[in-house]
Amino acid sequence: MQRKKLVVGNWKMNGSKALVQSLVQELLALGPWPSDIAICPPAIYLGQCEQMLAQSDLAWGAQDVSAREGSGAFTGELSANMLKEFGCRYVIVGHSERRSYHGESDQLVAAKALVALAQGLVPIVCVGETRAEREAGQTQAVVERQLGAVIDALGQRISEVVVAYEPVWAIGTGLTASPEEAQAVHAKLRSQLQAASVAAGQVRILYGGSVKAENATELFAQADIDGGLIGGAALKAKDFDAICRA
């Protein structure tokens, strides 16, 4: 099945009003791109992005969302409908930094994906093993467990998400899974999706972890790698642009 590539920039806790202004302007000058492209700035800048990007084909999204529906006494939380109100198309859920620094469980990540989907957002569900887990031969079991929790929560609607495979040991380290290593995991994730949903062929599975212009082409050429989730390289317009064209 032909899937349109998707490249998403995860800015993490980086930026300022001035950086959003200049980076978004540079990106707008570099586009359009042959693939679907989105940026996920810190949530406080989503309004600024909405104003700058409303007339463009560059989409935007958030890095996290509350698992709580509606509104209420949940200090510090941002709801899916708030993100929707600011024009977000996507929301990242279960990034390894959320799982490790904020103790997010597979079940919480699944609940976030469910709430996001219910509000019309596309969840980008992150899965990935640590170095110790890879060395112990547990890569497949770990990512299957992480994706499995989301499949259990979403059922057939799993076909509406984006999955991102990000080996934890490759994030921000300069180490990347080889195209073959990544493809092997992506193919297994694809089979798991296929067992859960008849429409699994349409799910885009992104690779993330030290993706750069130099390695993106080879990674994105793999049969089940449908684009990338980009951290560090998403903060430089030229680098991000080169990845978007890979």
What gap in Å lies between CA 160 and CA 145, rounded to an integer? 19
Binding residues for ligand PGA, rule: CB under 6 A, are 10, 166, 171-172, 208-211, 229-233
Q: Cβ 236 to ligand PGA, closest distance in Å? A: 11
Extract the runs of DSSP E, i.e. beta strands, from 26-89. Answer: 36-40, 58-62
**Catalytic site includes residue 95:** yes
Q: In Å, how far from its chain's centre is CA 29? A: 24
**Residue with Cβ nearer ligand PGA (69 or 218):** 218
Q: Cβ 172 to ligand PGA, closest distance in Å? A: 4
Q: Cβ 138 to ligand PGA, closest distance in Å? A: 20
CB of 83 closer than 8 Å to CB of 121: yes
**Residue with Cβ nearer ligand PGA (76 or 174):** 174
DSSP-assigned states of every residue in 21-60:
HHHHHHHHHH---SSEEEEE--GGGHHHHHHHHTTSSEEE
Extract the runs of DSSP E, i.e. beta strands, from 31-78. Answer: 36-40, 58-62
**Catalytic site includes residue 186:** no
CB of 82 closer than 8 Å to CB of 121: no
- Catalytic member of 85, 95, 133, 144: 95
DSSP-assigned states of every residue in 122-150:
EEEEEE---HHHHHTT-HHHHHHHHHHHH
**Residue with Cβ nearer ligand PGA (157 or 212):** 212
Q: In Å, how far from its chain's centre is CA 81? A: 19
Q: Cβ 213 to ligand PGA, closest distance in Å? A: 12
**Residue with Cβ nearer ligand PGA (11 or 86):** 11
DSSP-assigned states of every residue in 172-194:
TTS----HHHHHHHHHHHHHHHH
- Catalytic member of 104, 133, 144, 166: 166
Q: Cβ 30 to ligand PGA, closest distance in Å? A: 19
**Residue with Cβ nearer ligand PGA (170 or 203):** 170
CA distances for 121 relative to 1, 35, 61, 88, 216, angstroms: 23, 19, 9, 7, 26
Residue nearest to ligand PGA (CB): 231
Q: Which residues are catalytic?
A: 95, 166
